[in-house]
């Protein structure tokens, strides 16, 4: 036994993802959810161009975020400025390779993976690709989930600046790279929020699927 | 306790737009989309007492996090402590107010509002009343959700400890344990499905006192 997947759009239904109710709507007419007043669109408004805009802004700010120092530390007469990458190298040299790895993944890899993956998803959607939609949806859910971990270094810098205040003996202060970096994190989050994963499936013909839909 | 959405009503996958008919699920299990494996809905037979307990405990952990220092540091005989708010304000002292605003939003205002608003809607729903401003509170909770970063801040505290390890002696404060508790409680709280709040509110009497049941 098998049933075919039917999309809400193809049978004139407009789901509300805020409160979960499903409503009827003919064509592309604008309606609001009667229960929670959310504007129900067939697909997110201008999802592709908005996501591109956020991504472009992210890519531009990614450069100062990594080139500018985020933290200045001073110990007796030695002052050093650390960028995100040099901070990771320092952590690695001090023997905390596990934490160095965590910071590297959170601060360098996650934003980069987000920019590359979202660009790939956008291009695939614009080219109306039907290549592995399930894998692409998984990729989207993954980058949406990991995004906020990049904020790690901004918190570390704030904590160090609050703690290491020993006048001329030892001193830590955040620097302008932290602003650019915080902006990168916020922008990547806005980018993944504005992408509508349903676009991935709009070019995929509905296929037969098994009957049961439960699992745990 | 909560009635939840009736079985047989439609549910639409938010990631791929596939339409399903709701079926009764085994206790506390979850239905997933057959095409894209996205989460569809969960078994909602539990009431709101668990939610209220989690949010109340979370509020206690939040107060502990804010009252006690997160970390203390000792260096050549002089010591210093950092509370959450000192950490929030540290970047601002060096002219990086934007960073302070981000940190304040992500580790103070967002989690606090999430806990308070959750209690504000869950307690009346538990008593089968629809609180005044229910829809506004639910929309606010939805907007706040991605910006809560207590768990990232906790990891940031660990990284800060590692960075300072060679330089000074660092000790976790009571506030850090509050942070650990808050992370666990917020994570459990956010596993909940907001749709069930809307469904439950439909079956409640109005908060204004008139005993008219709202239609489903």
- A152 in contact with B at a CB cutoff of 8 Å? yes
Mean of pLDDT values over A205-211:
58
The answer to whether residue B139 scores a pLDDT higher than 90 is: yes
Backbone phi, then psi, for A14, in 5-degree steps?
Answer: -125, 100
Give yes or no for a contact between A115 and A58, defined as CB atoms under 8 angstroms apart: yes
**Each residue of A79-121: pLDDT tens digit?**
999 999 999 998 899 888 888 999 999 999 999 999 999 999 9
Tell whether A138 lies on the interface with B, counting CB pairs under 8 A.
yes
Q: Are A126 and A196 in contact (CB under 8 A)?
A: no
Q: What is the pLDDT of residues A18-38, one digit of tens each?
A: 998 998 887 777 789 988 898
Contact A21 B90 (CB under 8 A): no
pLDDT recorded at residue B192: 87
Chain B residue closest to A188 (CA)?
Answer: B146
Contact check, Cβ <8 Å, B16/A137: yes
Q: With a cut of 70, say whether residue A207 has pLDDT above it.
A: no
Structure confidence at residue B163 (pLDDT): 85
Residue boundaries of the structural domains of chain B: 1-46, 47-206
Average pLDDT of the segment spanning A183-211: 85
Work out the minimum CA distance from A99 to partner chain B, whole angstroms. 6
For B71-111, write each residue's pLDDT tens digit: 999 988 889 999 999 999 999 999 999 999 999 999 999 99
What angle, rounded to 10 degrees, do the helices at A47-67 and A177-194 form? 160
pLDDT in tens, A143-168: 999 989 999 999 999 999 999 988 88
Which tens digit of pLDDT belongs to each residue from B58-81?
Answer: 999 999 999 999 999 998 888 999
CA distance linking residue A127 with residue A142, whole number of Å: 22
Q: Does A21 touch chain B (CB under 8 A)?
A: yes
Which of the following CATH numbers is that of domain A47-204: 1.20.930, 2.60.40, 1.20.140, 1.20.58?
Answer: 1.20.140
Report yes or no: A94 and B166 within 8 Å, Cβ to Cβ: yes
**Angle ∠(B35,A120,B40) on CA atoms, nearest 5:** 25
CA A190 from centroid of its chain's CA atoms: 7
Is 0.90 exceeded by the ipTM? no
Q: What is the pLDDT of residue A210?
A: 46
Measured CA to CA, the distance from residue B130 to residue A69 in angstroms comes to 51
CB-hemisphere CA count at 13 Å for B114?
Answer: 32
How many beta-carbon pairs below 8 A join chains A and B?
Answer: 241
Determine the Cα–Cα distance for residues A121 and A136; give it in Å rounded to an integer. 7
8 A C-beta contact, residue B47 and residue B2: yes
Put simply, the chain B residues between 80 and 139 with a CB less than 8 A from any chain A CB are 80-82, 86-91, 93-94, 96, 98-100, 102-103, 106-107, 135, 138-139
- Residues of B with CB below 8 A from A17's CB? 14
Does the beta carbon of B195 lie under 8 angstroms from any beta carbon of chain A? yes
Q: Which residue of B has its CA nearest to A94?
A: B166
Chain A positions touching B146 (Cβ under 8 A) are: 147-148, 189, 193
- CB neighbours of B95 closer than 8 A, spacing ≥ 6? none
Instruction: Answer whether A31's CB lies under 8 Å from A40's CB.
Output: yes
- For B208, other C-beta atoms within 10 Å of its C-beta total 9
Rounded to the nearest 10 degrees, what angle do helices A177-194 and A152-163 cross at? 150
How far apart (Å, rounded) are the C-alpha atoms in residues A10 and B40?
19
Contact between A164 and B37 using a beta-carbon 8 Å cutoff = no
Contacting residues of A for B16, CB less than 8 Å apart? 7, 133, 137, 197-198, 200-201
Per-residue model confidence (pLDDT) at position A43? 86
**Tally of CA atoms within 13 A in the half-sphere of B90 that contains its CB:** 28
Q: Which residues pair with A75 in a beta bridge?
A: A78, A170
- How far apart are alpha carbons A107 and A130 in whole angstroms? 32
Q: What are the extents of the domains in chain A?
A: 1-42, 47-204
Percent of chain B with pLDDT strictly greater than 90 = 63
Residue A3: per-residue pLDDT:
64
3-class SS at A58?
helix
Residue B21 bridge partners (DSSP): B10
Model pTM score = 0.89
From the list A179, A180, A193, the residue with the least C-alpha distance to A148 is A193
* A190 touches B: beta carbon within 8 Å: no
Average pLDDT in the A169-173 region? 89
Q: Which residues are registered as beta bridge partners of B171?
A: B72
State the average pLDDT over residues A124-129. 92
B80 bridge partner residues? B73
Task: Answer yes or no: is pLDDT of B153 > 50.
Answer: yes
Partner A contacted by B24 (CB < 8 A): no
Give the nearest partner residue to A159 out of B9, B147, B157, using CB atoms: B157
């Amino acid at each position: 036994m098998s049933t075919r997947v039917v999309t809400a759009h193809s049978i004139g239904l407009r789901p509300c993802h805020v409160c979960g109710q499903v409503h009827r709507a003919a064509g592309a007419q604008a309606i609001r959810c009667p229960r929670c007043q959310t504007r129900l669109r067939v697909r997110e408004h201008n999802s592709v161009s908005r996501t591109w805009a956020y991504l472009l802004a992210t890519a531009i700010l990614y450069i100062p975020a990594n080139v500018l120092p985020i933290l200045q530390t001073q110990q007796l007469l030695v002052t050093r400025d650390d960028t995100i990458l040099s901070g990771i190298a320092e952590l690695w040299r001090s023997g905390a390779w596990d934490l160095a790895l965590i910071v590297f993944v959170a601060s360098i890899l996650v934003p980069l993976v987000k920019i590359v993956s979202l660009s790939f998803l956008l291009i695939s959607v614009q080219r109306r690709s039907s290549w592995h939609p399930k894998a692409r949806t998984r990729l989207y859910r993954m980058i949406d989930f990991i995004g906020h971990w990049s904020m790690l270094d901004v918190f570390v810098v704030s904590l160090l600046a609050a703690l290491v205040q020993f006048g001329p003996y030892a001193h830590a202060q955040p620097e302008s790279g932290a602003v650019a970096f915080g902006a990168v994190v916020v922008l990547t989050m806005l980018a993944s929020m504005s992408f509508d994963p349903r676009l991935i499936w709009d070019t995929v013909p509905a296929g037969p699927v098994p009957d049961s839909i439960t699992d745990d | 306790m909560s009635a939840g959405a009736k079985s047989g009503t439609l549910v639409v996958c938010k990631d791929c737009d596939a339409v399903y008919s709701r079926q009764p699920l085994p206790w506390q299990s979850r239905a997933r989309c057959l095409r894209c494996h996205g989460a569809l809905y969960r078994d909602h037979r539990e009431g709101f007492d668990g939610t209220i307990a989690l949010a109340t405990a979370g509020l206690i952990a939040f107060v502990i996090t804010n009252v006690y220092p997160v970390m203390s540091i000792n260096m050549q005989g002089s010591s210093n402590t950092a509370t959450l708010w000192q950490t929030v304000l540290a970047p601002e002292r060096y002219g990086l107010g934007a960073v302070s605003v981000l940190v304040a939003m992500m580790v103070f205002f967002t989690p606090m509002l999430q806990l308070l608003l959750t209690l504000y809607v869950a307690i009346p729903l538990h008593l089968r009343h629809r609180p005044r401003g229910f829809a506004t509170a639910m929309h606010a909770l939805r907007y706040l959700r991605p910006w809560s970063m207590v768990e990232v801040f906790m990891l940031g505290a660990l990284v800060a400890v590692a960075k300072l390890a060679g330089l000074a002696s660092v000790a976790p404060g009571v506030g850090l344990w509050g942070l650990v508790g808050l992370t666990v409680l917020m994570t459990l709280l956010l596993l909940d499905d907001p749709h069930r709040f809307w469904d439950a509110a439909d079956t409640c009497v109005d908060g204004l006192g008139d005993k008219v049941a709202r239609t489903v």
